[in-house]
A and B are shown apart, each in its own frame.
Chain A
Amino acid sequence: MNNETILQVQGLMTEFRTERGIVNAVNDVSFSLERGKTLGIVGESGSGKSVTNLSILKLIQYPPGRITAGQVIFKGENMFEWSEEEIRTVRGKHISMIFQDPLTSLNPVIKVWYQIAEALRLHHGMSKKEAKAKSIELLKLIGIPDAEQRADNYPHQFSGGMRQRVMIAMALSCDPEILIADEPTTALDVTIQAQILELIKNLSREKSTSVIMITHDLGVVADMCDSVCVMYAGRIVERAAIDDLFYAPQHPYTRGLLDSIPRIDRAGGSRLHTISGAPPNLIDIPPGCPFQPRCEKAMNICSKQSPPEFIINGDASRTAACWLHAKEYNNG
């Protein structure tokens, strides 16, 4: 496999101006995505996962949101220097998104086939007839029975799982190079979740689409991803290849997350581990590490200075933003 980097996000900062102050939703986030690979972005609600990915396509509504710094380099070009029209030619064609809630992400008054064909019509100027034929093909591909009849249905005539399939068909209609899936299974029940994930996995493998999988479910990450970024309070606190993350977590927050998963192989009776406290208010982030108030291993420096990302074992794709990994504190 060639390790061609298709998307690179550098130093991304996104803020929201609210009445109570400026919310730094994304704070200096950098990552890169390789062709054909799946990158997981994990974090709890409000950690900035979705905003990061909406920022990539500049889908943040200007008031109140604003991207204040950073670069998004797609195939060697910085998309943030492009005009709105130029970015529009990328959206849905080269980079497309699947949203969390299939119930509200489809327009209730537009027929299903037309919504699937929207990107095709916008980007390739397909005629209605061609577009409809293509959507029926896509409906078959995602496993909707009676695709010919179902194409003329409205979204409310579809079940939740089928609607999420339709969203996938919509996102994949133009054979994008990158698929951003923003918690694609959160609104679905467990059996459907597995089917949807399988579908995304198979389709992306077939077309060697790169996937950014945003989720708070570590099970999904283990199942789908090649590498993972863990986000906390708008920053990436740890990045790792999938196995390294689960077998050797380096950041206390990641360790806490992993310990919070109920395990079938562990002796019963013991209480489930939780991370005490709540995520910090992003309006005025205290100096130092944002995880420090909740951290079991907090040291003096943690409340004073924000840790940079420390490279672990000399592998640049393996980092943890924690003072425990600084040379002067790292003595075992």
Chain B
Amino acid sequence: MTVPRLFKNGIAVTGLVIIVLYVLIIIVSFFWLPFDPSEMNSQRLLEAPSFTSGHLFGTDEFGRDILSRIMKGTTVSLVISIAATALGASFGILMGIWAGYLGGRWDNGIMRIADVLFSFPSLLLAIFVMAILGENTYNVIIAIGIVYIPQFARISRGSIIALKSNEFVRAARSNGAGRTYILFRHLLPNSMAPIIVQISLSLSVAILLESALSFLGLGVQPPEPSWGNMLSSARKVMMLAPWTAIYPGLAIVTLVLGFNLLGDGLRDILDPRLRNVR
């Protein structure tokens, strides 16, 4: 029933359309780009956007085509955000559901680790991890993933605790089900709603974190384009050639908006308390 309801929710559909658009851009970018994103052209430095030159979004300080670089950067941003969320979600959920289900000493131990991670602001923690691991694309995924672990752990722990006293758990035990079976077959499917919403919102924050890390020079390293390092290099020439900053910025804003809208929409759909408000 959830899928048709998703399409009735305007907010979620808007978000979904934006995300699908970006996915299409990625697919196109594998086969065709307007220009080679790393080809420099000293004759065409900081050219304003125009149809005649073919540089629809203009060129940067090395004469590289900004549209091509944004398209190439979309892959980097989206892949990092999805991989980091997957990493953080899988570890976080595993920790959280076992903590919530076992309770007692286990719960205490696991959640105190999560609390330690939680006590740092996300970006600071990500910078810290990057500083230890070194600057490259894979480490960005690990850094953002680590930032996400405590968030997913908390959410899944909470919903497992709320669910585990349900009568159906006892019924499953009386059927001869073991701990792992009950946890993964009975409890986890019931706690998916808040986790799905969290995944969607985490995808958007991951884009921001990745951009921030790349902007600070800790993330994706030039010449490989990413939205964050494009903004970083645009900083120096922003006043002269505003398009160097505006277009990568717009790309970030719209994709983040897309994930946030989808997340908000999903929350409205999946939260039974809000179901009949509209």
Q: A63-B104, A104-B168, A105-B167 are in contact. Are A91 and B174 (CB under 8 A)?
A: yes
Q: A110-B186, A110-B189 are in contact. Are A122 and B170 (CB under 8 A)?
A: no
**Which residues of B, 170-188, contact A by the 8 Å Cβ criterion?**
170-178, 181, 185-186
**Residues of A close to B41: CB separation below 8 A:** none
Cross-chain contact A170 with B190 (CB below 8 angstroms): no
Find B174's partner among A96, A101, A109, A110 (CB 8 Å cutoff). Answer: A96
How close is B175's CB to chain A, nearest CB, in angstroms?
4
**Residues of A close to B177: CB separation below 8 A:** 88, 92, 118, 122
**Residues of B close to A85: CB separation below 8 A:** 178
Cross-chain contact A96 with B175 (CB below 8 angstroms): yes
Whether A51 is near chain B, meaning CB under 8 Å from some CB there, is no
Find A170's partner among B170, B175, B181 (CB 8 Å cutoff). Answer: B175
Find A88's partner among B178, B186, B190 (CB 8 Å cutoff). Answer: B178
Interface size for B (C-beta < 8 A) is: 19
**Residues of B close to A108: CB separation below 8 A:** 168, 190
**Residues of A close to B186: CB separation below 8 A:** 107, 110
Q: A107-B186, A109-B189 are in contact. Are A59 and B173 (CB under 8 A)?
A: yes
Q: A107-B186, A109-B189 are in contact. Are A91 and B171 (CB under 8 A)?
A: no
**Residues of B close to A63: CB separation below 8 A:** 104
Q: Mark A75-118, 1 if CB is under 8 A from B, else 0.
A: 00000000001001111110011010100111111100000001
**Residues of A close to B175: CB separation below 8 A:** 91-92, 96, 118-119, 122, 170
A168 CA / B177 CA spacing, docked (Å): 17
Whether B119 is near chain A, meaning CB under 8 Å from some CB there, is no
Cross-chain contact B174 with A59 (CB below 8 angstroms): yes
How close is B41's CB to chain A, nearest CB, in angstroms?
57
A108 CA / B171 CA spacing, docked (Å): 13
Q: A107-B186, A107-B190 are in contact. Are A118 and B167 (CB under 8 A)?
A: no
Main secondary structure of the interface of B (DSSP, over half): helix
- The chain A residue sitting closest to B185, CB to CB, is A110
A307 CA / B178 CA spacing, docked (Å): 41
Whether A131 is near chain B, meaning CB under 8 Å from some CB there, is no
A6 CA / B104 CA spacing, docked (Å): 37
**Residues of B close to A140: CB separation below 8 A:** none
- The chain A residue sitting closest to B169, CB to CB, is A107
How close is A138's CB to chain B, nearest CB, in angstroms?
14
A63 CA / B178 CA spacing, docked (Å): 18
Cross-chain contact B168 with A93 (CB below 8 angstroms): no
Whether A57 is near chain B, meaning CB under 8 Å from some CB there, is yes
**Which residues of A, 127-175, contact B by the 8 Å Cβ criterion?**
167, 170
Cross-chain contact B176 with A99 (CB below 8 angstroms): no
Cross-chain contact B171 with A105 (CB below 8 angstroms): yes
**Residues of B close to A97: CB separation below 8 A:** 171, 174
25 residue pairs of the A-B complex, CB under 8 angstroms, read A57-B174, A59-B170, A88-B177, A91-B173, A91-B175, A91-B176, A92-B176, A92-B177, A96-B174, A97-B171, A99-B171, A104-B168, A106-B171, A107-B186, A107-B189, A107-B190, A109-B189, A109-B192, A110-B185, A110-B186, A110-B189, A118-B172, A118-B175, A119-B175, A170-B171
**Residues of B close to A92: CB separation below 8 A:** 174-177
Whether B276 is near chain A, meaning CB under 8 Å from some CB there, is no
Cross-chain contact A107 with B176 (CB below 8 angstroms): no
Whether A123 is near chain B, meaning CB under 8 Å from some CB there, is yes
- The chain A residue sitting closest to B1, CB to CB, is A154
List 15 extra interface pairs beyond A88-B177, A91-B175, CB under 8 A.
A59-B173, A85-B178, A88-B176, A91-B174, A92-B176, A92-B177, A96-B174, A99-B170, A105-B170, A105-B171, A106-B171, A107-B186, A119-B175, A122-B175, A122-B181
Query: Which among B104, B167, B168, B178 has the highest number of chain A CB atoms within 10 Å?
Result: B168
**Residues of B close to A109: CB separation below 8 A:** 189-190, 192
Whether B50 is near chain A, meaning CB under 8 Å from some CB there, is no
A63 CA / B268 CA spacing, docked (Å): 37
A88 CA / B104 CA spacing, docked (Å): 23
- The chain B residue sitting closest to A122, CB to CB, is B176
Find A123's partner among B171, B173, B176, B185 (CB 8 Å cutoff). Answer: B176
**Residues of A close to B189: CB separation below 8 A:** 107, 109-110
Whether B166 is near chain A, meaning CB under 8 Å from some CB there, is yes
Q: A88-B178, A110-B189 are in contact. Are A104 and B166 (CB under 8 A)?
A: yes
Find A99's partner among B167, B178, B185 (CB 8 Å cutoff). Answer: B167
Cross-chain contact A107 with B178 (CB below 8 angstroms): no
**Residues of A close to B190: CB separation below 8 A:** 107-109
**Residues of A close to B185: CB separation below 8 A:** 110
A104 CA / B168 CA spacing, docked (Å): 6
How close is B273's CB to chain A, nearest CB, in angstroms?
16
A107 CA / B167 CA spacing, docked (Å): 9
The 7 closest A-B pairs by CB, nearest first: A92-B175, A92-B176, A104-B167, A91-B176, A97-B174, A107-B168, A119-B175
- The chain B residue sitting closest to A180, CB to CB, is B174
Q: Mark B92-113, 1 if CB is under 8 A from A, else 0.
A: 0000000000001000000000
A225 CA / B170 CA spacing, docked (Å): 25
Q: A107-B190, A110-B189 are in contact. Are A101 and B176 (CB under 8 A)?
A: no
- The chain A residue sitting closest to B174, CB to CB, is A97
